Amino acid sequence: MASLAMKTAEVTNMSSVDANAFRNGMRRLAGAVCVLTLRKGELRAGLTATAVVSVSAEPARLMVCINRNVFAHRLLEVGASLCVNVLAQGNLQVAHSFAGMLEGVDGEKRFEHGRWVDGASEDAPYLADAMVAFQCQVVELIDASSHSMVLCEVRQVQLPVDAEQDPLLYFGGRFATLDNRI
């Protein structure tokens, strides 16, 4: 059986879509709110993100997208520790903190919001009351315009005792919760 080789087309900004129209369209795509945390030695960083997808179950891999202009991006390298903390609706203050929405709260001060656990020295911090935390190791970085697509291998899945939490979502340019269930 012949194998398929994936190729990336060389494209020179052919998009005719207005950036604001694209952003407004993407606001209609509801997403789980996550805080991505990284550790490099004693240095910790994090950011709020919605660009997280499952890639495969065997091996357990996921992908996140991180803007190259944020401080946390400086800690990214193949082999780095990264934790994807999926937030519950009770974690709104944490989401605001890591999104830079709290005045005077940046850098290490972000970790003052929420119950953060520093596990093994090679692991990124995880949020104790997150819906789930995926401890990962970065296996590949892919340049994608203003962002890096970060392929991660999941090393550990941390589930909380309280599994009945509702998720924190991002929809319509703001944080949201589940109002109705079908």
Backbone angles phi, psi at 23, to 5 degrees: -60, -45
Residue 49 lies in a domain: yes
pTM of the complete model beyond 0.85: yes
Residue 40 lies in a domain: yes
The domain total for the chain is: 1
CB 150 within 8 A of CB 141: yes
pLDDT of 58 higher than 60: yes
Residue 56 lies in a domain: yes
Residue 144 bridge partners (DSSP): 147
Read off the tokens for 15. Answer: 């998009």
Residue 69 lies in a domain: yes
CB 59 within 8 A of CB 153: yes
> Which domain, by its residues, includes 45?
30-176
**CATH code of 153's domain:** 2.30.110.10
Please state, for a pLDDT cut of 70, what percent of the chain lies above it: 88
Please state the separation of Cα 182 from the chain's center in Å: 27
Residue 9 lies in a domain: no
What single DSSP character describes residue 141? Answer: E
Residue 60 lies in a domain: yes
Report residue 40's pLDDT band, with 50, 70 and 90 as the boundaries.
confident
- The Cα 41–Cα 23 span in angstroms is 36
- Tell me the mean pLDDT in the region 124-143: 95
CB 147 within 8 A of CB 7: no
Residue 23 lies in a domain: no
- Among 56-60, 67-71, 109-113, 159-163, which stretch is predicted with the lowest mean pLDDT? 159-163
